[in-house]
Amino acid sequence: MALGEDLGAGRWSVRIQIRPLVSLIWLAALIMAIGGATAASDRRYRTAKAVEAPALGAAAGDRAA
């Protein structure tokens, strides 16, 4: 919906456009956001990163010595 120009005497022109497929774009964005939040909250990724960090640090120390 868009408000146009003043036609005088308190009247305004109004333009209304109906685009039914635009709602599918918003639905797809919502689904992707939910999927991203679900993936980010997965506990496997947090525990795997915590386990790998000391192992990588020890391996880097072995190479330097």
Cβ(9)–Cβ(15) below 8 Å: no
pLDDT of residue 11: 84
Q: Note the pLDDT tens digit of each residue in 13-53.
A: 988 888 889 999 999 999 999 999 999 888 877 775 655 65
CB under 8 Å to 14, separation ≥6 — which residues? 1, 2, 3, 4
Using a cut of 0.75, tell me whether the model's pTM lies above it. no
β 11-15/2-8 pair status = antiparallel
Q: Note the pLDDT tens digit of each residue in 45-58.
A: 777 565 565 656 55
Joined tokens for residue 36: 């991203």
pLDDT of residue 9: 85
pLDDT of residue 38: 92
Phi-psi region of 3 (alpha: psi -120 to 50; beta: other; left: phi over 0): beta
